[in-house]
Amino acid sequence: MKMLINGEWRDSVSGKVFAVHNPATGDAVGEAPLGGEDDVRSAVEAAGGAFPDWSAKSPRDRAKVLFFAAEEVRRRNTDLAALLTAEQGKPIREAVDEINGFANILEYYYALSAGERGEFMNLRGYGRITVERRPLGICGAIIPWNMPAIIMGWKIGPALVAGNTVVLKPARTAPLTCTKLAEILGDAGLPPGVLNVVTGSGETVGREIARNPAIRKVSFTGEVGTGRQVALDAAPTLKRLTLELGGSDPMIVCDDADIPMAVEGVIRGRFYNCGQVCTAVKRLYVYESIADEVIRRLKSRVEAIVVGNGMDRGVSMGPLNNRAGLERVVGQVDAARERDEGEIVAGGRVPEGKEYERGLFFLPTLIAGVPHDSVLFSEEVFGPVLPIATVPGLDEALDLANNSRYGLGASVWTRSADVIARATEGLEAGIVWVNQHLKIPPEVPFGGTKESGIGRENGSRALEEYMEEKAVLIRL
Ligand code: NAD
């Protein structure tokens, strides 16, 4: 596959490529050009050239392209999902959902486009005032590998409907699905240069996107440390930033919770996408009185998770996406084991057997009785490992839940209206769920507090994040 710049398939200026591997088998899935700063500059030039015509169209005309693309994405879901599973590793069922999710997001912004009209005021003494909302210009989108299609949709949906043009950088270990989706948008009528994809490393392509003075906004999703670097690189040009960063979501299970439902919530919340979700359940706080039952039920559910190649029938959890991620998870679990931090109730190691030899697998893992100062609680664990601690009641649970530099998501599981009121008020997070976790429909604003990020994606106001207002005061 090549890069899509100005509607053309291009090699990188260096002529170099990098291979994309299937994390379940180690086999090559494809290759992509190793782009660099010059490739970003070409993409920026293309995006700048396309901006006047694209921004002059009505929001509805722009959004129609997204609507047609969404239809085509749904039609080609099977192939796209297979490509996503091959490069990312998730079970095919989850890949199908993610591709549909991308289409849902495009359709959502199509629907919102009809309401995009600006404002009008008639103020005595000042005259008639219009507040126009105008696109920002060229926007950069830098995305991770864990949910590449969904996160691409969160960024390009509002950016394009608002009239901006985009330079997008996919992650190095999952660039193929994003490039294919951009091709489909082009086939659906997106003019050349409106959406450009530059593949390559964060150090070159990503940093040039953050630094480039012609780019007026960068929306970045990834780790906290990388987000900080993006902010530093973007500072000299004072561009707008949306930073969607890491999380360490707490889940609190109270003694009046529906325990089987909470257990299913943990299974989906922690082990979906092999635990590689920003809003995965990463810390479990269970009331002491029900802890034994919750852990017993969890253990039996976790042991029933079928680990394997996401394309194989019956597999419910795939490999981790990349070796660095696997090594980090192995290191975090080993550190906890060496310091005797808790009891490994399930998993805790890479699986044995011929079918796992070439893949980046780790068993779904439960660690109970984890001390509150463990790295498993203080660091983001981006893999299928759940540290569990018991709590005497809600006050302690809220204190522990909030004792984190992260503040992305959080959930509380209870039937009590009083607990719901106190927990939803007290939890420091951008999104709080009650008796559920992980679900994020396109209508709901999404983003973090504290070090989990700046700004919001999703929801109707995401369009405003890609526009600026111009007030015009007319005295006649
Ligand atoms: P990452 O920060 O390593 O990389 C993200 C993207 O940034 C990639 O495309 C990468 O190539 C690029 N990049 C790397 N260095 C860069 C630099 N110096 N300048 C510009 N770009 C650079 O993150 P990752 O490992 O791909 O993703 C996992 C992380 O993303 C986790 O922390 C997870 O919680 C977070 N995440 C957050 C959200 C959210 O919405 N808050 C969603 C998904 C994932």
Q: Does residue 147 share a domain with residue 205?
A: yes
Residue 244 Cβ inside 6 Å of ligand 1? The answer reads yes
pLDDT attached to residue 476: 80
Residue 12 Cβ inside 6 Å of ligand 1? The answer reads no
Q: Does residue 266 share a domain with residue 236?
A: no
pLDDT along the chain (476 residues), means of 10: 96 98 98 98 98 96 98 98 98 98 98 86 94 97 98 98 98 98 98 98 98 98 98 98 98 98 98 98 98 98 98 97 98 97 98 96 98 96 98 98 98 98 98 96 96 95 94 92
pLDDT attached to residue 260: 98
Q: Does residue 199 share a domain with residue 118?
A: yes
In a domain, 104, yes or no: yes
Q: Does residue 305 share a domain with residue 201?
A: no
What tens digit of pLDDT does each residue of 222-252 get?
Answer: 999 999 999 999 999 999 999 999 999 999 9
Tokens of 350: 């890479």
pLDDT attached to residue 115: 80
Specify whether the CB–CB gap between 429 and 407 falls below 8 A. Answer: yes
In a domain, 32, yes or no: yes
Between the CA of 29 and the centroid of ligand 1 the distance, in Å, is 22
What tens digit of pLDDT does each residue of 266-280 get?
Answer: 999 999 999 999 999
In a domain, 397, yes or no: yes
Among residues 98, 183, 208, 244, the one annotated as catalytic is 244
pLDDT attached to residue 282: 98
Between the CA of 222 and the centroid of ligand 1 the distance, in Å, is 2
Which CATH number belongs to the domain containing residue 262 in this structure? 3.40.309.10
Residue 71 exposed, middle or buried by CB count within 10 Å (0-12, 13-18, 19+):
middle
In a domain, 295, yes or no: yes
What does each C-alpha distance from 471 to 81, 120, 134 come to in angstroms? 45, 10, 11
| DSSP state string for 64-124 | HHHHHHHHHHHHTHHHHHHHHHHHH---HHHHHHHHHHHHHHHHHHHHHHTT---EEEEET
Bridge partners of 30? 20
Residue 154 Cβ inside 6 Å of ligand 1? The answer reads no
Residue 171 Cβ inside 6 Å of ligand 1? The answer reads yes
pLDDT attached to residue 116: 74
Between the CA of 157 and the centroid of ligand 1 the distance, in Å, is 19
Number of Cα atoms under 13 Å in the Cβ half of residue 421: 3
R_g of the chain computed on alpha carbons: 23
Q: Does residue 148 share a domain with residue 283?
A: no
Helix (H) or strand (E) holding 468: strand 467-474
In a domain, 447, yes or no: no
Which CATH number belongs to the domain containing residue 64 in this structure? 3.40.605.10
- Which residue, among 152, 171, 187, has the nearest Cα to 7 in the 3D structure? 187
Q: Which residue CA neighbors atom 43 of ligand 1 most closely?
A: 278
Q: Does residue 422 share a domain with residue 292?
A: yes
Q: Hey, which of 146, 147, 151 would you mutate to test ligand 1's pocket, going by the most ligand atoms within 8 Å of its Cβ?
A: 146
Q: Closest ligand 1 atom, CA of 453?
A: 41
Angle of the 394-402 helix axis to the 417-426 helix axis, nearest 10: 20
Percent of the chain with pLDDT over 90: 98
pLDDT attached to residue 324: 98
* Domain that includes residue 196, residue range: 3-245+452-474
Tokens of 160: 């394009």
pLDDT attached to residue 440: 94
Q: Does residue 328 share a domain with residue 272?
A: yes
Residue 322 Cβ inside 6 Å of ligand 1? The answer reads no
Q: Closest ligand 1 atom, CA of 201?
A: 11
Between the CA of 47 and the centroid of ligand 1 the distance, in Å, is 23
Residue 145 Cβ inside 6 Å of ligand 1? The answer reads yes
Q: Does residue 65 share a domain with residue 183?
A: yes
Q: Does residue 197 share a domain with residue 104?
A: yes
Cα 65 to Cα 137: distance, rounded to the nearest angstrom = 19
Between the CA of 244 and the centroid of ligand 1 the distance, in Å, is 9
Locus of tokens 């043009």: 165
Decide: helix, strand or coil at residue 195: strand
Going through 204-290 in order, the beta strands assigned E by DSSP cover 215-221, 240-244, 249-253, 281-287
In a domain, 126, yes or no: yes
Query: What one-character DSSP code corresponds to residue 190?
Result: P
Structural domains in the chain (count): 2
The residues, any chain, with a CB within 8 Å of residue 40's CB and separated by 6 or more, are: 167, 198, 205, 208, 209, 212
Q: Closest ligand 1 atom, CA of 246?
A: 34
Q: Does residue 350 share a domain with residue 217?
A: no
Tokens of 8: 């053309």
Specify whether the CB–CB gap between 360 and 89 falls below 8 A. Answer: yes
Q: Closest ligand 1 atom, CA of 324?
A: 25
Q: Is 178 a catalytic residue?
A: no
In a domain, 446, yes or no: no
| DSSP state string for 337-380 | HHTT-SEEEE--SPPPSGGGTTS-----EEEES--TTSHHHHS-
Provide the pairing of β-strand 406-407 with 449-450.
Answer: antiparallel
For 424, other C-beta atoms within 10 Å of its C-beta total: 14
Q: Does residue 238 share a domain with residue 211?
A: yes
Residue 382 Cβ inside 6 Å of ligand 1? The answer reads yes
Residue 221 Cβ inside 6 Å of ligand 1? The answer reads yes
pLDDT attached to residue 118: 84
Q: Which residue CA neighbors atom 40 of ligand 1 most closely?
A: 244
In a domain, 232, yes or no: yes
Q: Does residue 277 share a domain with residue 213?
A: no
Residue 380 Cβ inside 6 Å of ligand 1? The answer reads yes
pLDDT attached to residue 226: 98
Burial track 449-461 (b if 16+ CB lie within 10 A, e otherwise): ebbbbbbbbbbbe
The residues, any chain, with a CB within 8 Å of residue 287's CB and separated by 6 or more, are: 253, 254, 255, 390, 391, 392, 393, 397
Q: Which residue CA neighbors atom 16 of ligand 1 most closely?
A: 202
Q: Is 244 a catalytic residue?
A: yes
Specify whether the CB–CB gap between 216 and 139 falls below 8 A. Answer: yes
pLDDT attached to residue 236: 98
